[in-house]
């Protein structure tokens, strides 16, 4: 029997998710059954005078309700019903993992999704695919919450009123007659920048049917500057594939490839951080130069960071081109740029010395000319073909939003389909999109949420989430990916493919039919049906088509054309007024993630700001403009400014950001939406409102104080390490001279040897779990924080509670600044429960609610905890989290109303919870336990496998914690340290392994590998790089207060050097 992939026919009120066939029948008996714990009559068993007849009736009713009777029935069609016919591989309570992918603007992210009884609960990267390697980023991790967002659109809406699917498709039928009449002249589509072969096939189908229809692609955060430059430098149809693993020296021109810019994807993060893996003295380590305006994670990892207003970065690139061309040709041309000549000269020399093993990347915010300059640098340095390779990506040339707008203005668009994106919110401000969209007769909007664009559309069609739909796509390396549904659409949404098929007049595709048809075109040619079926099954199973990655194409840059282009696009002079940089935000993306509570609560990796955005300014610029954001008694009071540009303005709170370029303001995008769910409502300001066209930055802004003060919720109030050896950092050279230098940092080195007066319980269980975190590889990207949240059912608490210091994350990223306030170094440190062998929290708990396991875990018995919070007080790492309210049960806006407040946490949000982890109630302390549920599962599996044999040890390095699994930099190593073959046992023997606050004799099971920097000794200020711990150790380093650094000249010309 062929399975049908549809729900049983829905009733008129639209589809609901359901629990059993009885519910869909919705009989009064079922309703009563829902209300009562026991079915009707069950309680009569308790009564006296129970007759035999009654008893039989009750029993037969119970049997019927238990589903025994139903399994005998056969129905003409088979639906996806829960377990009247259980799939043979499904064991209730055990999870199943399916491969799929998340569509992303620069290539799909291959995933494995964990589901429990049909509920997806956790996203993992697909370890088989090189684009993931098992890792994901924050957005992928949080997308499972988006699936269950109770505020997703549930119904077809026509002009603001609820309508139905039937009415919608009736309307499509009518419209189709119009399009057929005018060959689609008035028809237009606006889609997002994801790649899907099936969508492309359907587009061709539509285009064949309605040849004059226009198909526009818009991706506001990926404006295509890089693509344009690539075409100029290398010719059309190519995208560069940067080989970070082959690069010894990397220069980033405002490119946050380690952060949220998604330049190379996770493969780039893994490849780059792989080049920073130092195990012993003598190991090679790559070197990173970063030129950027705002502090990004890439800048934080850099060995030499030059802060520059974004508009001056082109000048730096151009100076480097001239300098390096000088090396290439033997001459020595003069250099003019905002940067110090020495910086340019030495960076250029270093790149030149590492030619063919260097790599220059430019950021998406930078105009095409900077990308062209980067291509020239790569060419001159001989990187092309070595560290820069290309893959072919044929894409039909598609107009963008601007061209569509022009068409609308000319009145040529009668029907506009907006599939994805949210142009009414984030279209370039100069387009006046909202008005334009209003002038189109019929706008049909397909989306996950009813948002700003839906509000101005005639129709809103609910979208199926990517976890609910079949689909296909291309990974960044060009390989073909398959998406399969983990769950039927919760609210009956349509997938993009289904919608396009229906628009094209095809019947709604049955399940994977449309994707399978596309796949047949690619993989089915010349093979018989059986072989094709096998290939298809494997495609679905693996989530991608093996060996389908695009081959590298050899290509050299056309230097002449590049030079002509550069000549035609002069660099902006160091301009008047203040520069605005429109930067993507790590929590909101382009605005689409604003209703995702996990992402809103996770602090920004650099500023540690939660729940909103703020205008970032350098300390010097803030002083010059008379602005401040000051931490007053635990609250960050920040001046609200009015930022005007070209007749438009926004009002934004200011956040003084150490290390930011002077005369520049960064405006994170994606906030300040006006039609969004409860989570995103009223958060931040809308920076898109100032952005014209696709520019990443603009000059000539005016900033005025409004006199108002806003309160911001940041999770870290204090940025200096106060001379404590928390994050330990050393330059590679010193590490090589003295591998033990890490143990000699700060006063802790002078502590007498640790001795204990007590006997400690022996830890002699066969498994001894331990973790090592490589600070040299960790970029600080937050993926682990959300992975942990998703795995361990960690609640969100809301802005108000975060401001009070009650966030619940079990793993956090501490961010320290070292050095001067104007140009500090940035150090990120993941901090989780250290699972101290000699845990101070355990001794003080009066009720034994937190105890030590024989395997070295510091475990919590939530049911035993009474909530004295003493353990938290005595925890030197402050990693314990207390449920001050019933965060899992109450609405965040009525926490203080107690029992009077509404209870409602949406049923769907509960569906996300990991059934193997207790959902904690209020008054209970919680903390990281190394994902003990995974450890236990692995141990049980191994015991089952072992049977009577003594082979009960979990295979070496086979079990991973959530944070370890997700880490794209592979900075976290976890395993059984009693197993000498394990990676963690090996890593802990490295000379730069250290325990934070080890002098307390708490014996942390989590240790760190010190951060190493690899400065170029000839660079200006190189002697300060990586010295923050060493300098402080000897008492003459930068002092406690970041303000104590040397004053910095305010003009960008002098900016950027390390002191």
Task: Sort 208 into a burial class: Cβ within 10 Å, 0-12 / 13-18 / 19+.
Answer: exposed
List, in sequence order, the alpha helices (H) in 543-669: 559-568, 597-601, 619-625
Least distance CB 195 / other proteins (angstroms): 41
List, in sequence order, the alpha helices (H) in 183-264: 197-209, 225-234
Going 579 to 584 to 585 to 586, the CA torsion angle's sign is negative
3-state secondary structure 991-1003: CCEECCCHHHCCC
String of DSSP letters for 757-801: SSPPPP--SS--EEEEEETTT----SHHHHHHHHHTTPPP--HHH
Of the pair 184, 1042, the CB lying nearest other proteins is at: 1042
Closest alpha carbon to 776 in 993, 607, 1037, 982: 993
Residues in contact with 640: Cβ distance below 8 Å, sequence separation at least 6, in sequence order: 651, 652, 653, 654, 705, 706, 707, 708, 709, 710
Least distance CB 715 / other proteins (angstroms): 9
Q: For other proteins, which residue of 76, 526, 634, 947 counts as binding (CB under 8 A)?
A: 634
For residue 207, the 8-state DSSP code is H
Q: For residue 970, how many C-alpha atoms fall within 13 Å in the half-sphere facing its CB?
A: 19
Q: For other proteins, which residue of 531, 897, 906, 946 counts as binding (CB under 8 A)?
A: 897
Of the pair 27, 843, the CB lying nearest other proteins is at: 843
Asked if 903 interacts with other proteins (CB under 8 A), we say no
Instruction: Say how many residues touch other proteins, by CB under 8 A.
Output: 69
Contact assessment for residue 336 and residue 350, using Cβ atoms and an 8 Å cutoff: no
Task: Write the binding mask 333 to 372 for other proteins: x where contact by CB under 8 A, - elsewhere.
Answer: ----------------------------------------
Least distance CB 855 / other proteins (angstroms): 19
Q: How far apart are CA 402 and CA 410, in angstroms?
A: 12
Specify the stretch interacting with other proteins by CB under 8 A; choose among 49-57, 246-254, 479-487, 814-822.
814-822
Asked if 101 interacts with other proteins (CB under 8 A), we say no
Strand order of the sheet with strand 388-392? 238-242, 388-392, 552-553
Of the pair 550, 839, the CB lying nearest other proteins is at: 839
Closest alpha carbon to 422 in 195, 692, 674, 625: 674
Asked if 136 interacts with other proteins (CB under 8 A), we say no
- Structure tokens belonging to residue 534: 């096998």
Q: How far apart are CA 628 and CA 656, in angstroms?
A: 7
Asked if 789 interacts with other proteins (CB under 8 A), we say no
Q: State how far Cα 402 lies from the chain centre.
A: 29
Of the pair 600, 829, the CB lying nearest other proteins is at: 829
Specify the stretch interacting with other proteins by CB under 8 A; choose among 383-391, 460-468, 558-566, 804-812.
804-812
Of the pair 718, 1051, the CB lying nearest other proteins is at: 718
**Contact positions with other proteins (CB under 8 A) in 866-885:** 866-870, 872-874, 876-878, 880-885
Of the pair 767, 1005, the CB lying nearest other proteins is at: 1005
Q: For other proteins, which residue of 218, 604, 814, 855 counts as binding (CB under 8 A)?
A: 814
Least distance CB 755 / other proteins (angstroms): 16
Secondary structure element (H or E) that encloses residue 64, with its range: helix 52-65
- Structure tokens belonging to residue 326: 């000088």
Asked if 1038 interacts with other proteins (CB under 8 A), we say no
Contact assessment for residue 27 and residue 48, using Cβ atoms and an 8 Å cutoff: no
The 10 Å Cβ neighbour count of residue 940 is 12
Q: For other proteins, which residue of 633, 755, 762, 1036 counts as binding (CB under 8 A)?
A: 633
Of the pair 898, 1046, the CB lying nearest other proteins is at: 898
- Structure tokens belonging to residue 801: 């509670």
Secondary structure element (H or E) that encloses residue 292, with its range: strand 287-292
Least distance CB 714 / other proteins (angstroms): 11
For residue 671, the 8-state DSSP code is -
Asked if 1039 interacts with other proteins (CB under 8 A), we say no
Specify the stretch interacting with other proteins by CB under 8 A; choose among 188-196, 421-429, 522-530, 997-1005.
997-1005
Of the pair 655, 985, the CB lying nearest other proteins is at: 655
Task: Write the binding mask 703 to 742 for other proteins: x where contact by CB under 8 A, - elsewhere.
Answer: -------------xxxxxxxxx-x----------------
Q: How far apart are CA 771 and CA 779, in angstroms?
A: 17
Least distance CB 843 / other proteins (angstroms): 5
Specify the stretch interacting with other proteins by CB under 8 A; choose among 122-130, 293-301, 499-507, 629-637.
629-637
640-652 burial string, b = 16+ CB within 10 Å, else e? Answer: bbebbbeeebbbb
List, in sequence order, the alpha helices (H) in 308-367: 313-329, 341-353
Least distance CB 806 / other proteins (angstroms): 5
Task: Sort 390 into a burial class: Cβ within 10 Å, 0-12 / 13-18 / 19+.
Answer: buried
Q: State how far Cα 281 lies from the chain centre.
A: 34
Least distance CB 716 / other proteins (angstroms): 5
Secondary structure element (H or E) that encloses residue 1041, with its range: none
Least distance CB 631 / other proteins (angstroms): 8
Least distance CB 136 / other proteins (angstroms): 25
Of the pair 602, 620, the CB lying nearest other proteins is at: 602
CA Rg value for the chain:
30
Asked if 432 interacts with other proteins (CB under 8 A), we say no
Asked if 837 interacts with other proteins (CB under 8 A), we say no
Asked if 844 interacts with other proteins (CB under 8 A), we say yes
Q: How far apart are CA 890 and CA 900, in angstroms?
A: 10
Asked if 118 interacts with other proteins (CB under 8 A), we say no
Secondary structure element (H or E) that encloses residue 1037, with its range: none
Of the pair 424, 818, the CB lying nearest other proteins is at: 818
- Structure tokens belonging to residue 782: 């937050």
Task: Write the binding mask 664 to 703 for other proteins: x where contact by CB under 8 A, - elsewhere.
Answer: ----------------------------------------
Asked if 821 interacts with other proteins (CB under 8 A), we say no
Of the pair 15, 809, the CB lying nearest other proteins is at: 809
**Contact positions with other proteins (CB under 8 A) in 922-951:** 922-925
Of the pair 556, 760, the CB lying nearest other proteins is at: 760
Asked if 1041 interacts with other proteins (CB under 8 A), we say no
Binding residues vs other proteins (CB under 8 A): 633-635, 716-724, 726, 746-747, 750, 801, 804-807, 812, 814-816, 829, 831, 840, 842-848, 861, 864-870, 872-874, 876-878, 880-886, 895-899, 921-925, 997, 1000, 1002
């Amino acid at each position: 029997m062929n399975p049908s992939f549809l729900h049983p026919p829905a009733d008129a009120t639209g589809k609901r998710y359901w629990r059993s066939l009885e519910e869909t029948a919705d009989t009064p008996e079922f309703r009563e059954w829902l209300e009562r714990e026991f079915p009707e009559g069950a309680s009569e068993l308790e009564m006296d005078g129970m007759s035999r007849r009654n008893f039989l009736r009750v029993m037969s009713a119970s049997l019927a309700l238990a589903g025994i009777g139903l399994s005998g029935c056969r129905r003409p069609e088979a639906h996806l019903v829960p377990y009247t016919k259980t799939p043979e591989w499904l064991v209730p309570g055990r999870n199943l993992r399916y491969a799929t992918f998340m569509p992303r603007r620069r290539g799909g992210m291959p995933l494995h999704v964990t589901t429990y009884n049909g509920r997806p609960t956790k996203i993992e990267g697909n370890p088989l695919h090189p684009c993931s390697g098992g890792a994901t980023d924050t957005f992928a991790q949080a997308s499972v919450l988006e699936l269950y967002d109770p505020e997703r659109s549930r119904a077809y809406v026509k002009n603001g009123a609820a309508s139905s699917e039937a009415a919608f498709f009736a309307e499509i039928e009518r419209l189709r007659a119009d399009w057929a009449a005018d060959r689609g002249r008035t028809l237009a589509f606006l889609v997002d920048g994801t790649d899907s072969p099936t969508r492309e096939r359907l587009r061709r189908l539509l285009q064949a049917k309605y040849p004059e229809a226009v198909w526009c692609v818009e991706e506001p955060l990926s404006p295509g500057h890089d693509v344009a430059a690539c075409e100029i430098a290398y010719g059309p149809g190519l995208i560069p594939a940067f080989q970070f693993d082959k690069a010894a020296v990397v220069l980033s021109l405002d490119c946050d490839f380690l952060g949220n810019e998604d330049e190379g994807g996770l493969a780039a993060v893994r490849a780059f951080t792989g080049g920073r893996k130092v195990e012993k003295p003598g190991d090679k380590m790559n070197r990173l130069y970063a030129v950027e305006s705002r502090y990004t994670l890439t800048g934080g990892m850099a060995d030499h960071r030059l802060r520059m207003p974004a508009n001056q970065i082109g000048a730096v690139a151009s100076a480097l081109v001239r300098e390096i061309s000088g090396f290439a040709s033997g001459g020595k041309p003069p250099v003019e740029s905002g940067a110090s000549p020495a910086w340019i000269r030495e960076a250029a020399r270093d790149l030149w010395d590492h030619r063919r093993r260097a790599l220059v990347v430019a950021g998406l915010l930078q105009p095409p000319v900077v990308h062209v300059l980067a291509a020239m640098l790569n060419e001159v340095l001989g990187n092309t073909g070595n560290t820069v390779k290309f893959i072919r990506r044929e894409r039909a040339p598609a107009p963008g939003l601007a061209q569509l707008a022009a068409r609308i203005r000319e009145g040529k668009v009668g029907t506009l389909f907006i599939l994805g994106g949210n142009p009414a919110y984030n279209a370039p401000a100069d387009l006046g999109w909202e008005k334009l969209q209003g002038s189109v007769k019929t706008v049909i909007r397909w989306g996950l949420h009813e948002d700003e664009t839906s509000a101005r559309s005639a129709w809103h069609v609910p979208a199926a989430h990517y976890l609910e739909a079949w689909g296909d796509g291309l990974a960044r390396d060009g390989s073909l990916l398959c998406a399969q549904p983990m769950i039927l659409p919760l609210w009956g949404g349509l997938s993009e493919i289904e919608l396009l098929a229906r628009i094209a007049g095809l019947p709604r595709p049955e399940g994977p039919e449309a994707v399978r048809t596309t796949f047949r075109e690619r993989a089915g040619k010349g093979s018989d049906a059986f072989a094709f079926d096998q290939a298809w099954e494997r495609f679905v199973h693996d989530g991608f088509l093996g060996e389908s990655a695009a081959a590298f194409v050899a290509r050299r840059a056309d230097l002449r054309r590049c030079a002509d282009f550069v000549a035609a696009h002069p660099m902006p002079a160091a301009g008047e007024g203040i520069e605005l940089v429109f930067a993507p935000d790590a929590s909101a993306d382009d605005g689409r993630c604003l209703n995702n509570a996990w992402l809103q609560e996770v602090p920004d990796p650099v500023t540690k700001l939660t729940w909103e955005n703020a205008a970032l300014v350098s300390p010097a610029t803030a002083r010059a403009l008379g602005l401040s954001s000051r931490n007053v008694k635990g609250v960050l009071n920040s001046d609200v400014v009015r930022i005007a540009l070209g007749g438009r303005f926004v009002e934004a709170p200011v956040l003084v950001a150490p290390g930011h370029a002077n005369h520049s303001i960064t405006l994170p995008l994606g906030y300040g939406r006006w039609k969004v769910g409860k989570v995103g409502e009223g958060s931040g300001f809308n920076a898109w409102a100032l952005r014209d066209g696709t520019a990443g930055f603009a000059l000539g802004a005016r900033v005025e104080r409004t006199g108002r003060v806003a309160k911001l919720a940041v999770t870290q109030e204090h940025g200096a390490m106060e001379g404590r050896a928390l994050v330990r950092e050393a330059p590679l050279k010193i590490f090589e001279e003295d591998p033990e230098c890490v143990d000699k940092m700060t006063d802790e080195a002078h502590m007498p040897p640790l001795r204990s007066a007590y006997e400690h319980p022996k830890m002699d269980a066969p498994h001894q779990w331990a973790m090592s975190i490589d600070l040299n590889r960790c970029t600080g990207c937050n993926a682990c924080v959300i992975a942990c949240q998703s795995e361990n059912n960690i609640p969100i608490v809301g802005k108000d509670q975060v401001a009070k210091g009650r966030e619940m994350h079990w793993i956090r990223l501490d961010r320290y600044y070292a050095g001067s306030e104007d140009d500090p170094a940035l150090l990120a440190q993941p901090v989780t429960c250290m699972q101290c062998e000699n845990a101070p929290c355990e001794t003080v708990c009066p009720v034994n609610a937190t105890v030590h396991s024989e395997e070295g875990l510091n475990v919590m018995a939530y049911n035993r905890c009474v909530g004295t919070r003493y353990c938290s007080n005595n925890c030197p790492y402050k990693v314990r989290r207390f449920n001050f309210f019933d965060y899992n049960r109450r609405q965040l806006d009525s926490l203080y109303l107690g029992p009077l407040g509404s209870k409602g946490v949406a049923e769907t949000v509960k569906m996300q919870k990991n059934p193997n982890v207790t959902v904690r109630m209020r008054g209970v302390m919680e903390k990281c336990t190394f994902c003990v549920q995974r450890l236990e599962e692995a141990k049980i599996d191994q015991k089952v496998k072992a049977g009577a044999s003594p082979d009960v040890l979990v295979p070496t390095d086979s079990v991973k914690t959530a944070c370890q699994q997700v880490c794209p930099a592979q900075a976290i190593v976890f395993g059984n340290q009693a197993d000498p073959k394990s990676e963690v046992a090996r890593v802990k023997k490295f000379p730069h392994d250290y325990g934070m606050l080890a002098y307390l004799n708490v014996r942390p099971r989590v240790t760190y590998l010190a951060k190493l920097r690899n400065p170029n000794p000839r660079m200006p200020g190189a002697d300060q790089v990586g010295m923050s711990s060493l300098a402080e150790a000897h008492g003459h380093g930068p002092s406690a207060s970041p303000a104590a650094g040397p004053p910095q000249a305010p003009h960008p010309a002098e900016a950027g050097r390390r002191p």
